[in-house]
Amino acid sequence: MTRKAAYLGNLDDALELIEFAQVRFDRLTATARAMLTTIRARLLALTGRYAEAQADVDRADAHFADHDPDADPPWLCYYDAAEHQGSTGKALIPIAQASGNPELAAGRLTAAVELQAADYPRSRTFSRVRLASLLMATGYPREAVPIGRQAVIDTAALRSQRLTTELHGLARSAAPHVQLSDVAELRHDIATLGRPST
Judged on CB neighbours under 10 Å (0-12, 13-18, 19+), 55 is middle
Averaged pLDDT, groups of 10, the chain, 198 residues long: 87 89 88 96 96 97 96 93 96 96 96 88 94 97 97 90 93 95 96 69
pLDDT at 196: 57
Q: What are phi and psi of 68, to 5 degrees?
A: -135, 100
Distance separating alpha carbons of residues 133 and 173, to the nearest angstrom: 6
pTM above 0.75, yes or no: yes
Helices (H), 8-102: 11-21, 30-46, 50-65, 81-99
Q: What are phi and psi of 197, to 5 degrees?
A: -80, 160
pLDDT at 52: 97
pLDDT at 23: 85
pLDDT at 170: 96
Cα→Cα distances 172→47, 106, 183, 191, Å? 21, 19, 11, 11
